[in-house]
Protein backbone atom coordinates (compact mmCIF):
# COMPACT_ATOMS: atom_id res chain seq x y z
CA UNK A 1 0.00 0.00 0.00
CA UNK A 2 1.63 3.23 -1.20
CA UNK A 3 -0.57 5.46 0.90
CA UNK A 4 -1.95 7.21 -2.18
CA UNK A 5 -5.69 6.77 -2.64
CA UNK A 6 -7.46 7.14 -5.94
CA UNK A 7 -11.19 7.05 -6.60
CA UNK A 8 -13.04 5.71 -8.43
CA UNK A 9 -11.13 2.56 -9.31
CA UNK A 10 -13.26 1.95 -12.39
CA UNK A 11 -15.43 4.31 -14.40
CA UNK A 12 -17.43 3.68 -17.54
CA UNK A 13 -18.97 6.59 -19.38
CA UNK A 14 -20.02 7.73 -22.83
CA UNK A 15 -18.36 9.98 -25.37
CA UNK A 16 -18.96 13.66 -24.76
CA UNK A 17 -19.35 13.25 -21.03
CA UNK A 18 -17.29 14.70 -18.20
CA UNK A 19 -15.71 12.86 -15.30
CA UNK A 20 -13.69 13.75 -12.22
CA UNK A 21 -10.94 11.57 -10.82
CA UNK A 22 -9.84 12.11 -7.26
CA UNK A 23 -6.50 11.58 -5.55
CA UNK A 24 -5.50 11.76 -1.91
CA UNK A 25 -1.72 11.92 -1.52
CA UNK A 26 0.30 10.31 1.24
CA UNK A 27 0.12 12.12 4.52
CA UNK A 28 2.57 15.00 4.47
CA UNK A 29 3.27 14.92 0.73
CA UNK A 30 2.87 18.30 -0.89
CA UNK A 31 3.33 17.24 -4.51
CA UNK A 32 0.78 15.48 -6.66
CA UNK A 33 1.43 14.21 -10.16
CA UNK A 34 -1.03 12.85 -12.70
CA UNK A 35 -0.09 10.28 -15.33
CA UNK A 36 -2.06 8.64 -18.11
CA UNK A 37 -1.33 5.09 -19.23
CA UNK A 38 -2.83 3.81 -22.44
CA UNK A 39 -1.91 0.72 -24.41
CA UNK A 40 -0.32 2.61 -27.29
CA UNK A 41 1.28 5.52 -25.41
CA UNK A 42 2.65 4.02 -22.23
CA UNK A 43 2.90 6.17 -19.11
CA UNK A 44 2.57 9.84 -19.98
CA UNK A 45 3.06 12.68 -17.53
CA UNK A 46 0.11 15.05 -17.47
CA UNK A 47 0.55 17.62 -14.74
CA UNK A 48 2.22 18.35 -11.40
CA UNK A 49 0.93 20.38 -8.46
CA UNK A 50 2.86 21.46 -5.42
CA UNK A 51 1.05 22.79 -2.39
CA UNK A 52 -1.87 23.96 -4.45
CA UNK A 53 0.08 25.51 -7.30
CA UNK A 54 0.60 24.12 -10.76
CA UNK A 55 4.30 23.46 -11.30
CA UNK A 56 4.61 21.63 -14.60
CA UNK A 57 2.51 20.50 -17.50
CA UNK A 58 3.14 17.59 -19.76
CA UNK A 59 1.04 16.14 -22.54
CA UNK A 60 -2.26 17.25 -21.07
CA UNK A 61 -5.10 18.01 -23.45
CA UNK A 62 -6.99 21.28 -23.19
CA UNK A 63 -10.12 19.23 -22.43
CA UNK A 64 -8.42 18.06 -19.25
CA UNK A 65 -7.84 20.16 -16.17
CA UNK A 66 -6.66 19.56 -12.64
CA UNK A 67 -6.40 21.28 -9.33
CA UNK A 68 -5.01 20.70 -5.87
CA UNK A 69 -7.07 21.79 -2.92
CA UNK A 70 -5.97 23.27 0.43
CA UNK A 71 -6.21 19.84 2.05
CA UNK A 72 -3.76 18.69 -0.67
CA UNK A 73 -6.08 16.27 -2.40
CA UNK A 74 -6.23 16.67 -6.16
CA UNK A 75 -8.83 16.22 -8.85
CA UNK A 76 -8.37 15.58 -12.54
CA UNK A 77 -11.29 16.69 -14.66
CA UNK A 78 -11.75 15.16 -18.09
CA UNK A 79 -14.40 16.68 -20.34
CA UNK A 80 -15.83 16.11 -23.83
CA UNK A 81 -14.58 12.59 -23.53
CA UNK A 82 -13.48 10.68 -26.61
CA UNK A 83 -12.90 6.99 -27.14
CA UNK A 84 -9.16 7.61 -27.10
CA UNK A 85 -9.34 8.91 -23.55
CA UNK A 86 -9.92 5.39 -22.31
CA UNK A 87 -6.89 4.66 -20.15
CA UNK A 88 -5.55 4.13 -16.69
CA UNK A 89 -5.01 7.38 -14.85
CA UNK A 90 -2.46 7.31 -12.07
CA UNK A 91 -1.85 9.78 -9.34
CA UNK A 92 1.48 9.94 -7.53
CA UNK A 93 2.73 11.98 -4.63
CA UNK A 94 6.11 12.94 -3.25
CA UNK A 95 7.76 14.99 -0.55
CA UNK A 96 9.03 17.60 -2.95
CA UNK A 97 11.92 19.62 -1.67
CA UNK A 98 12.35 17.77 1.59
CA UNK A 99 14.83 15.20 0.30
CA UNK A 100 16.62 14.34 -2.88
CA UNK A 101 15.27 10.84 -3.26
CA UNK A 102 12.78 11.89 -5.86
CA UNK A 103 10.73 8.83 -5.05
CA UNK A 104 7.17 8.99 -6.33
CA UNK A 105 4.47 6.96 -4.61
CA UNK A 106 1.79 5.87 -7.05
CA UNK A 107 -1.81 5.02 -6.40
CA UNK A 108 -3.51 1.99 -7.90
CA UNK A 109 -5.05 4.04 -10.65
CA UNK A 110 -8.49 4.85 -12.02
CA UNK A 111 -9.48 2.89 -15.07
CA UNK A 112 -11.60 5.00 -17.40
CA UNK A 113 -13.56 3.38 -20.21
CA UNK A 114 -15.28 5.63 -22.71
CA UNK A 115 -17.92 3.93 -24.84
User: Residue numbers of the site for another protein (CB under 8 A)?
Assistant: 2, 4, 33, 35, 42-45, 48, 55-56, 58, 90, 92, 96-97, 100-109
Report in angstroms how near the CB of residue 91 gets to another protein at its nearest.
8
Q: Which 8-state DSSP code applies to residue 72?
A: S
Q: Which is nearer to another protein, 33 or 64 (CB)?
A: 33
Kindly state the smallest distance separating residue 113's Cβ from another protein, in Å: 15
In the complex with another protein, which residue's Cβ is closer, 27 or 101?
A: 101
Which residue lies nearer to another protein by CB, 27 or 100? 100
In angstroms, give the least distance from the CB of 22 to another protein: 15
CA distances 4 to 17, 41, 48, 59, Å, are: 26, 24, 15, 22
**Spatial contact of 112 and 18, defined as CB atoms under 8 Å apart:** no
Handedness of CA 75, 9, 37, 107 (dihedral sign): positive
Residue placing its CB nearer to another protein in the complex, 18 or 47: 47
DSSP string computed for 6-19: EE-SEEEE-TT--E
Amino acid sequence: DSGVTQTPKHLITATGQRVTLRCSPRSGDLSVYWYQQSLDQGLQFLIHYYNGEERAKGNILERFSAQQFPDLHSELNLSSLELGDSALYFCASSTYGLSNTGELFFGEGSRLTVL
